[in-house]
């Protein structure tokens, strides 16, 4: 579907070269911040910050709650790059542009991708404000053939048919659960399956019921394309969803979700998420300029 929007290797390389010429930082870890979660970037020390508008070939984010900055810096001694705002299919971007930064990160030397999002809960046991460690996902657009890997495959990044079983790194998930236990977060931390839908509308009741029956615990409008692309080019992946609302699955329920409410929950849990991600990054072992 998006083959006409295929991006050549040289474009990724030009963007990576430009960034490397503008900062002394050489990141091992990349963090993508979802709606209302951009405060993670503020934790970086010795920052170099770039507006997306100033970065060659970078798309622009148009969503409230996304600051549209790429921030380089140090987090507990580890060099990171943080997207303060991501791109979405519903903004009109082809998936090659939505996932463009991930391949640039690979060329910068990144080995681990931490991806966060705001999501609605489908699981009855989840509460607003919970944090869900993503153990797997259902990529609804991908199942319909809308895939960032459509078109000719570039072997410089990865194989034609990448496996996706176990894409969310088991060791990183265990590490995060151990951190949550030590910090006293366990009572509001879940581990579950994220489902991506296209958006920008929130789900109908029938759609919510359908997704729940498929095995999804939370639903949102991002993440799967970036994770798919990261896995294709050999990055380790760790994902977090902040549960910002309960998805309505009952026709008698009068509750409605809105984007302002999503951002409000992000603000409420900002310090908790920052602490968790910071502690996780601090425990990553880096050998020979690689995150192992």
Q: Does the annotation mark 232 as catalytic?
A: no
Q: Identify the residue whose tokens are 């294709």.
A: 232
Q: Which of 2, 16, 25, 35 is catalytic?
A: 35
Q: Which of 43, 118, 119, 224 is catalytic?
A: 118
Q: Which of 68, 222, 231, 241 is catalytic?
A: 222
N- to C-terminal Cα separation, the chain: 35
- Cβ(114)–Cβ(238) below 8 Å: yes
Q: Does the annotation mark 88 as catalytic?
A: yes
Q: Does the annotation mark 245 as catalytic?
A: yes
Q: Which of 2, 25, 88, 212 is catalytic?
A: 88
| Alpha carbon separation from 189 to 67, 135, 241 (Å, rounded) | 27, 13, 10
Chain centroid to CA 174: how far?
18
Q: Which of 67, 259, 268, 270 is catalytic?
A: 259
Judged by DSSP in three states, 16 sits in: helix
Q: Which of 91, 203, 226, 279 is catalytic?
A: 91
Q: Which of 42, 74, 90, 185 is catalytic?
A: 90
Chain centroid to CA 24: how far?
25
Angle at alpha carbon of residue 33, lines to 81 and 8, rounded to 5°: 60
Q: Which of 96, 224, 245, 279 is catalytic?
A: 245
Q: Does the annotation mark 49 as catalytic?
A: no
Q: Does the annotation mark 212 as catalytic?
A: no
Q: Does the annotation mark 2 as catalytic?
A: no
Q: Does the annotation mark 90 as catalytic?
A: yes
Chain centroid to CA 74: how far?
19
Q: Which of 2, 25, 66, 212 is catalytic?
A: 66
Q: Which of 30, 41, 221, 224 is catalytic?
A: 221
Please list the active-site residues.
35, 66, 88, 90-91, 118, 221-222, 245, 259
């Amino acid at each position: 579907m998006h083959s006409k929007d295929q991006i050549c290797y040289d474009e990724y390389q030009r963007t990576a070269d430009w960034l490397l010429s503008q900062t002394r930082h050489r990141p091992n870890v990349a963090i993508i911040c979802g709606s209302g979660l951009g405060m993670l970037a503020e934790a970086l020390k010795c920052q170099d910050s770039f507006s997306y508008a100033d970065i060659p070939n970078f798309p622009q984010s148009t969503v409230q709650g996304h600051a549209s900055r790429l921030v380089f810096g140090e987090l507990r001694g580890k060099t990171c790059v943080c997207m303060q705002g991501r791109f979405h299919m519903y903004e009109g971007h082809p998936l090659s542009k939505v996932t463009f930064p991930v391949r640039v990160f690979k060329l910068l030397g990144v080995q681990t991708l931490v991806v966060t999002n705001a999501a609605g809960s489908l699981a009855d046991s989840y509460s607003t404000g919970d944090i869900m460690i993503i153990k797997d996902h259902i990529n609804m657009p991908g199942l319909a053939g809308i895939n960032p890997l459509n078109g000719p495959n570039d072997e410089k990044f990865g194989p034609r048919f990448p496996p996706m079983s176990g894409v969310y790194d088991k060791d990183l998930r265990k590490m995060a659960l151990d951190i949550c236990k030590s910090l006293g977060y366990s009572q509001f931390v879940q581990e579950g399956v994220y489902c991506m839908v296209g958006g920008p509308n929130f789900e109908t009741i029938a759609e919510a019921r359908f997704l729940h029956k498929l095995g999804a615990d939370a639903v949102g409008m991002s993440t799967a394309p970036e994770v798919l692309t990261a896995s294709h080019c050999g990055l380790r992946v760790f994902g977090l969803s902040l549960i910002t609302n309960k998805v309505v699955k009952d026709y008698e329920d009068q509750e409605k979700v809105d984007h302002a409410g999503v951002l409000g929950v992000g603000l409420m849990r900002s310090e908790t998420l920052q602490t968790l991600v910071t502690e996780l990054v601090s425990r990553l072992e880096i050998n020979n300029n690689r995150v192992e």
